[in-house]
Every structure is written in structure tokens, then in C-alpha cells.
Amino acid sequence: MKETILIVTAVILTLAAAGAIVRIAVGPSLLDRVLAADVLLAILGAALAIDMAMNRHLNNLMLLVALTLIGFIGSVTVARFVADRRPNPHDS
Amino acid sequence: MTADASGFDAFIDALTAVFLVAGALMSLAAAIGLLRFPDLMSRMHAATKPQVLGLFLVLAAIGLQLRTWWVWPVLLVAWIFQLLTVPVSAHMVGRAGYRTKHLQKELLSTDELADVVRRAAAEEQAEQDARDAAGSKRP
């Protein structure tokens, strides 16, 4: 039972991480890459939480919260400094 | 252990398995959405699934497996922290995406920011005109 759950979730999370990495690689804009990196971070957090649930410990919980904080700071910083490079920004 | 208690344990384990697999599937759904959706806004819609519901499901699985009451407030704090930070970063990414035109206008059902941007542009244009008029008068 335990091994089955671990294998199933590992396969699912590996596929999800592969998809997010593909989007980081091809993503047409910087913001797409930031978004995909956020999803990759959420997938890592899910992996940490699944490890905690199956092995019944709480060692990674602070790491999970720190991961949330890092993702927040990263995406806010990048979004803040994405520059509008067109000559007249109000044309549409 | 009585048969009743072990049956309850089996039920908790099954519920944990369902929560864990569902939480992992949220991540997969987000990845599929990231790969298949056409523009930044719809990709952002897909990306929030593992961040909120997926995290909730796996944290609930932790709480079920540890079988103590004091972990629930700790897990709740971790989840609420995620709930507080995710909308802020999503708002900033979405606004930056709007300002840099990383969206397909025809896919939007409503665009409430367009009025604000138009008004700000008109104000800026009026200021520019006033400054030009003052500049041309001076020499």
C-alpha cells in the first residue's frame, strides 16, 4: 500500500515537473518562465509533504514554508522589474 | 487493537492515499495547463491548482497520518501562509503581463483594467500637452 502510493505519486510528480521544466525552457516570455518556476516549486513542496505524510515526521515543514517565501519573493521581484520596452507604452 | 480500531486505521490510510494522489494530480493538471494553454493569463489560472488545493490536500494527508491534534494548527499556518503570498505574487505577475501585453485580448471575457489604463494615458497626454504649451510660450 505504502510503496504503491509512493510510486504512483512519484510518477505523477515527475511528469508534472517535466512539464513545468519544458515550459521554463520554451516559455515565450520571462513571465511564463517565472510562472512555471512557481509551479515547479509547488511540485517540490508537494514532494516534501508526501515524504512527511508517508514517513510520519514533520522535519520538512519549515522548509516548506521557506520554499513558499522564496517563491513569493522571486516572482514578485521579477514581475516588478519586467520592463515595458516598447517606445510608447500606451499604444495598443 | 480491536477490529473496530484497525478498520478505522484502514479507513484513515485509504483517505490519506486518496488525498496524496489527488494532490499529486493537481500538480500534473498544472503542468498540462502550462503546456497547453495559449497565453499567460490562462496559464496563471492553471498554475494556482497545486499552490492552493494541492498543498491543502497533501497537508491534510500529513495531519491524517500523524494522528495528533496539535499538528493541525501548524499545518493550517503553513497553508494560510501560502494563501496569503500566492494571490499577491499572482497579482503582480498578472499586472506585469498585462502591461507588457503578454495576453490575447480576444480570449478575455472582460477587461476592467483597460478603462484605468486609458484614463491614465489621457491624463499623461494632457500633462504633456500642457507642458508643451508652456514650453512653446516661453521663448
A40 vs A56: CA distance, rounded Å: 24
**Is residue A90's pLDDT more than 60?**
no
Identify the CA nearest to B58 among candidates B10, B25, B92, B93. B25
- Grid coordinates of A9: 505519486
pLDDT tens digit string along B41-69? 888 888 888 888 999 999 999 999 988 88
DSSP secondary structure of B71-133: HHHHHHHHHHHHHHHHHHHHHHHHHHHHHTT-S-GGG-S--THHHHHHHHHHHHHHHHHHHHH
Q: What are phi and psi of A72, to 5 degrees?
A: -60, -50
CB contact under 8 Å between B61 and A49, yes or no, is: yes
Chain A residue at shortest CA distance from B10: A1
Specify the pLDDT at position A22.
94
**What's the average model confidence in pLDDT over A17-31?**
90
Choose among B34, B92, B99: nearest Cβ to A20: B34
Who has greater pLDDT, B59 or B109? B59
pLDDT tens digit string along A47-63? 999 999 999 888 889 99
Q: How far is CA B30 from CA A37, A77, B93, in A?
A: 12, 22, 17
Contact residues on chain B for A13, CB-CB shorter than 8 A: 24, 27-28
**ipTM of the predicted structure?**
0.83
Choose among A23, A68, A75: nearest Cβ to B34: A23
Specify the pLDDT at position B101.
76
Is the separation of the CB atoms in B27 and B54 below 8 Å? Answer: yes
**What's the average model confidence in pLDDT over B29-35?**
92
Who has greater pLDDT, B114 or B75? B75
B68 vs A30: CA distance, rounded Å: 44
Identify the CA nearest to B44 among candidates B3, B80, B96, B4. B96
Domain regions of chain B by residue span: 3-104, 109-139
Q: How far is B46 from chain A (nearest CA, A)?
A: 9
Specify the pLDDT at position B139.
56
Specify the pLDDT at position A92.
46
Is the separation of the CB atoms in B44 and A35 below 8 Å? Answer: yes
**Is residue A85's pLDDT more than 70?**
no
CB contact under 8 Å between A82 and B96, yes or no, is: yes
Distance spanning both ends of chain B, measured CA to CA: 98
A12 and B CB contact within 8 Å: yes
To test the contact with chain A by mutation, choose from B12, B48, B58, B119 the residue with the greatest count of A C-beta atoms within 10 A, namely B58
Chain A residue at shortest CA distance from B75: A61
B127 and A CB contact within 8 Å: no
